[in-house]
Chains A and B, each alone.
Chain A
Amino acid sequence: MKTIMRNKQWAEKYPELGTGPVPAEPYISPEFYELERDRVFRRTWINVCQVGDIPKPGDFFVRDLAVCSTSLLIIRGKDNVIRAFHNVCSHRANIVVPQQSGSCATGLFCPFHNWQYNDKGELVGVPDEENFFDLDKSQHGLTPVNSDIWQGFVFVYLDPEPAESLRDYLGGVADQLDGCPFDKLALMQTYKVEERTNWKVALDAQNEVYHLPFQHSRLVGHTFLLNEKKHTRILEVNLYERHTLWSCEFVPDYELAPLEVLLGKIDTDTEGVRIPQLIGEFDFYVLFPNMVVILFRGPTEDGVVTYNFWPLALDRTIWEIRYYFPPAKSVGRRVGQEFFKCLIRDVQQEDTIAHESLYRGLLSRAKTHVQLQDEEITIRYFHKVLEDHVGFYANGGNQ
């Protein structure tokens, strides 16, 4: 056990961050949301999918990015290069691909007038082309979007001129997770839930463990390390240029539920993928603005969970949750993975209630600020980074 139980240690580590309350307005302000759309989501690197979503040459994946009012088409070309485009036809701007995913090995056809694009987004077919006026097909491919890949995660940058490379953007997080064996894990399951909440309410609610002994008392209330007063204490906090990490240790001898005891007996597989980059046993990275990468230590193998919070509107958010595990080779191992997935899923279904309930409370404007304790420092930092991008208060705010 490496965790230090001392109070207020994170404010000591990051004194420049201060300890004051955080304004509630950004959660509920239409003006703030409009600024976020332009200054955050169009001007940062956004994770849109993972290479496993487009495993074969010619495969495509569509990501509707409502917050940027666009639909993106991510294609693995026949040359194995992954490219991103606006999913918008050059003819009259129809959405080219209505499906979520598929293969364009034989071409992409806009359903409106059958304009045809190839796997590189080039316009290769126009019905009745002779009846157009000076139409140069080579100039009318799909509009490209900057994209890059880090550890199998595909990111895009909507603004045509990225301020920095993806690697520089990820900075210390990429340094910490270099060599992480993401490629040995496979997507096991994706969940999506649409919530009546602001995207930051949902993200912030996940970005601390203070609530676990209370809100999740029955499911995981005593899983993470607690001090002598039964309050959570995290092992480590790192604040990167924009991103954050908190890391926890599990209670070494926490009381196992009957099925957990049984899993120890039935999972006799001795091999398991381990993630050497783990700092504690549950490492929670927020990749600004809207992605979370969780690495966790299991009894016999490690795994990864990712979240993406997709704003649909100021007050509507899709929470996308993905579970990645090493492919199971034995029944006992597979049952163990199912157990972990269902446990966290059930926790998340409790979380959704809270995300919506918090938003209702914020909408009342009964509270102008929210109070944060030392264990919630990554939320505090997130709001600082957000304001640095948005400049809402720097320009007088909407008081």
Chain B
Amino acid sequence: MTDHSLPEGFSDLEPFIDWALERERGRTEKREASTMDEVRAFYDAVFPRMEEIVAHLDAFPLDALPEKEERLFLLTLSLVEVSNLVERYRRREAILAISPLDYSSVQ
């Protein structure tokens, strides 16, 4: 079974582990597939912990994060992924843009 655990001290974020996605494409798809309430719940859970998370992760080399730390790191990238929607657009109806899924992304 896949390990979904986060480092000690961050286990309260485990309900949001399905936002720990390796590729930007996956994070965009997750954002698009989530309701605004789900997006906000994720944002509200991770945002206040960001300083703590980054302080924890910076003890490790960025290119060799242990598995649990890697998942925690990916949550921070998903936070960035949703931040414009939550902070700037605030509601999906405010967006006049093509579907982000029409952007092919090569990482």
Contacts and interface: CB of A to CB of B under 8 A. Distances in A.
B2 interface: no
A331 B50 contact: no
Interface string B22-62: 00100000000000000000000001001101100110001
Interface string B74-104: 0011011101100111000011111010111
Contacts of B94: 218
Contacts of B24: 189
A191 B101 CA distance: 11
B73 A331 contact: yes
A206 interface: no
A316 to B, nearest CB: 14
A346 B86 CA distance: 13
A144 interface: no
Contacts of A350: 95-97
Contact of B62 (A192, A258, A328): A328
Given A335-B76, A338-B77, A192 B47 contact: no
A349 B97 contact: yes
A260 to B, nearest CB: 9
Secondary structure of the A side of the interface?
A: helix
Given A259-B83, A346-B100, 16 more contacts: A190-B106, A192-B103, A219-B88, A258-B83, A259-B79, A265-B51, A328-B62, A330-B62, A331-B62, A334-B62, A342-B81, A345-B100, A345-B103, A346-B97, A349-B100, A349-B103
Contacts of A332: 54, 58
Interface of A: 189-193, 218-219, 257-259, 262, 265-266, 268, 328-332, 334-335, 338-339, 342-343, 345-346, 348-350, 352-353
Contact of B54 (A192, A266, A338): A266
A257 B83 contact: yes
A268 B51 CA distance: 11
User: Which of A190, A338, A352 has the most chain B CB within a 10 Å cutoff?
Assistant: A338
B80 A338 contact: yes
Secondary structure of the B side of the interface?
A: helix
B47 A218 contact: no
Contacts of B51: 262, 265-266
Contacts of B54: 266, 331-332, 335
A331 B57 contact: yes
A271 B60 CA distance: 18
Contacts of A353: 96-98
B97 A192 contact: no
Contacts of B104: 191-193
A192 B102 CA distance: 9
A189 B105 contact: yes
18 contacts: A189-B105, A190-B107, A191-B103, A193-B102, A193-B104, A219-B88, A258-B83, A330-B62, A331-B57, A331-B58, A331-B62, A335-B77, A338-B80, A342-B83, A349-B97, A349-B103, A350-B95, A353-B96
A254 to B, nearest CB: 13
Given A349-B97, A352-B98, A262 B80 contact: no
Q: Which 9 A-B pairs have the closest CB atoms?
A: A349-B97, A266-B54, A331-B57, A350-B97, A190-B106, A259-B83, A257-B87, A338-B80, A352-B98
Contact of A342 (B53, B80, B96, B98): B80
Nearest to B105: A191
User: Which of A192, A346, A348 has the most chain B CB within a 10 Å cutoff?
Assistant: A346
B103 A331 contact: no
B98 A349 contact: yes
